Amino acid sequence: GESVGLHLPTLSVQEGDNSIINCAYSNSASDYFIWYKQESGKGPQFIIDIRSNMDKRQGQRVTVLLNKTVKHLSLQIAATQPGDSAVYFCAEMGGSNYKLTFGKGTLLTVNP
Amino acid sequence: NAGVTQTPKFQVLKTGQSMTLQCAQDMNHEYMSWYRQDPGMGLRLIHYSVGAGITDQGEVPNGYNVSRSTTEDFPLRLLSAAPSQTSVYFCASSSAGVRYGYTFGSGTRLTVV
């Protein structure tokens, strides 16, 4: 069935380091992917998205990479800051519907 | 522009009680969805709607009903609350057409005792 999963449930980095959060997906029909950030007690917040016709997309301090061959998605955060501490979810959408399927999340902790 | 508004923020129910979780968006989004979030489970889709008068089931629809009489509102009804429905509930909305990320509300934390 459709599933989106994460390799690492937790990630701890030092302030200023770069962070990489990985995600695997299994639905070959997925054509749209999103990374969300969720801080404690809040709803998921859109970070960046990528469509299946792209391999890479950059935002402010964030980059998403998509490898359709191995069905892998990653989120890179440059110069990680304490405010980046949160749970990060990847989500995918595909086929003819607009249902968004989420992975289980990775907890990112940034140490000062 | 309030985005996606959910009420209430917190609720405690007794087993067997019914209630409605409210969700409203002011972005004229066609698509709306309800998710529940349990520890270690990520977000799971309960029900979704692609427009007024159209709803469909998601991954975990049992015990929940929805309706979409207007574009703005998408209430979630718990018919007979059970402890297994203790969770945090999120409503989200998105534009139709070109795929866009969903915008989420701040959530309703529900405890069923």
Mutation pick from A93, A102, A104 vs chain B, by most beta carbons of B within 10 Å, is: A102
Residue in B42, B90, B99 nearest the CB of A32: B99
Checking phi first, is residue A52 left (phi over 0); if not, alpha (psi -120 to 50) or beta? alpha
Q: Is the pLDDT of residue A10 over 50?
A: yes
pLDDT tens, per residue, chain B with 113 residues: 679 999 999 999 999 999 999 999 999 999 999 999 987 678 999 999 999 999 999 999 999 999 999 999 999 999 999 999 999 999 999 987 666 788 999 999 999 99
> In terms of CA atoms, which chain B residue is nearest residue A31?
B99
> How far A46 CA lies from chain B's nearest CA (Å)?
7
Mean pLDDT of chain A: 89
Pairs across A and B, CB distance < 8 A: 55
Looking at residue B101, its pLDDT comes to 81
B94 neighbourhood in chain A, CB within 8 Å: 98
Q: Is the pLDDT of residue A24 over 60?
A: yes
> In terms of CA atoms, which chain B residue is nearest residue A39?
B106
Lowest pLDDT segment from A46-60, A93-107, B28-42: A93-107
Looking at residue A7, its pLDDT comes to 46
Contacts of residue A88, defined as CB under 8 A and 6 or more positions apart, other chains included, come to A21, A35, A36, A37, A38, A47, A75, A105, A106, A108
Beta-strand pair B87-94/B76-78: unpaired
DSSP class of A7: S
> In terms of CA atoms, which chain A residue is nearest residue B100?
A49
A99 neighbourhood in chain B, CB within 8 Å: 33, 45, 48, 58
> In terms of CA atoms, which chain B residue is nearest residue A36?
B101
> How far A2 CA lies from chain B's nearest CA (Å)?
11
Looking at residue B15, its pLDDT comes to 98
| Closest to A101 in 3D by CA, of A109, A110, A92 | A92
Mean pLDDT of the region A50-69: 96
A42 neighbourhood in chain B, CB within 8 Å: 106-107
Mean pLDDT of the region A6-23: 87
Looking at residue B43, its pLDDT comes to 92
Residue A107 token pair: 């907890």
What confidence tier does A26 reach under pLDDT thresholds 50, 70, 90? Answer: confident
- Cβ of A46 and B44 within 8 Å? no
β-sheet bridge partners, residue B24: B5, B73
- Cβ of B48 and A99 within 8 Å? yes
Mean pLDDT of the region A27-32: 89
- Cβ of A103 and B42 within 8 Å? yes
Please give the Cα distance from B91 to B57 (Å, whole number). Answer: 14
